[in-house]
Structure formats: C-alpha cells, structure tokens
Amino acid sequence: MKKRQFWQRYRNDIVAMLVYNLIAGGLTLIYEVLLAGASTEQWLGVRIIYTIIRFSGAFMLGYLIDWFRQLLSKRKYLLAKAIADFLALSVYQLPIYCLSAILMGVPIASILISSSLYVADNLLLGWLYGYILDRVRKYYSTAKAII
C-alpha cells in the first residue's frame, strides 16, 4: 500500500471512530462508574490511556472490519456485515480496554463486568460503527466497503 493510501485510510478510520465515540461514548460512563463500580479517577485514567491507544491504532480496526467482512461475505448481506462489525470492534477494543484498566489499578471484578458490558454494547451498536465507517469512506471516496 502506498504511503498516501495508508494516510487516507487512517484518516477515514480516525474520523469514523471520532463520530462513533461522540454518538455512543456516553454509555461508557454509565456502565464503568455506576455498574462496574470504578472510581471517577480510575474511569478518567482508563479513558485517557484507552483513547490514546485506540485512536493511534485506528487503522487496525478498519483492517479488522474489512477482514471479518470478507470472511463473512458469503452470508446474508446485512446480518453478516453487522456480525463482522461487532467482531472487529470486540477483538480490537477489549484488549486495549483491559490493558488500560489494569494499568490504572481497576479491580479484576470491575474489569470483567465492564468487559462483558462492552461486548453487549458492541453487539448492539457495532453495526453503527460499520455504517459510519462506510459513510466516511464513501464521503472521501478512498476505499470501497467490502460486501
């Protein structure tokens, strides 16, 4: 891949992740602080570390989505796309979240609760990230969506 194509894809992934976070990001405060029992300081620290790592490697999420979509391309169109988006988000975000939480000293029980809520969140809203990514790619016309 040429250097320019890489940066165009990276821009697309960053823009899509930013828009998705603005729409769906408010849920994290609810289930990390209220449901999982993390302190406000821990939550803020986890969010800072998590966001820096996640945005710096955003292009990997785009590749994961394309890879999962290609694997599931023989299935029914919308369902396969939603499952691929869910799987890519979960595979990409959960290890980063767990690492961030461990670094901030969040108890293991809280990490497990938050992680399971993240999986449920990705299951319900993963399709939204894929939709936003497809719209951003179409807007910038740099990459065609697979499927």
pLDDT at residue 136 in the model: 92
How many degrees, rounded to 5, is the angle at CA 91 between CA 50 and CA 120?
85
pTM of the shown model: 0.81
18-48 b/e (C-beta count within 10 Å ≥ 16 → b): ebbeeebeeebeebbbeebebeeebbebbbe
> For 104-121, what is each residue's pLDDT tens digit?
888 898 889 888 988 998
pLDDT at residue 47 in the model: 84
User: Low-confidence residues of the chain, pLDDT below 50?
Assistant: none
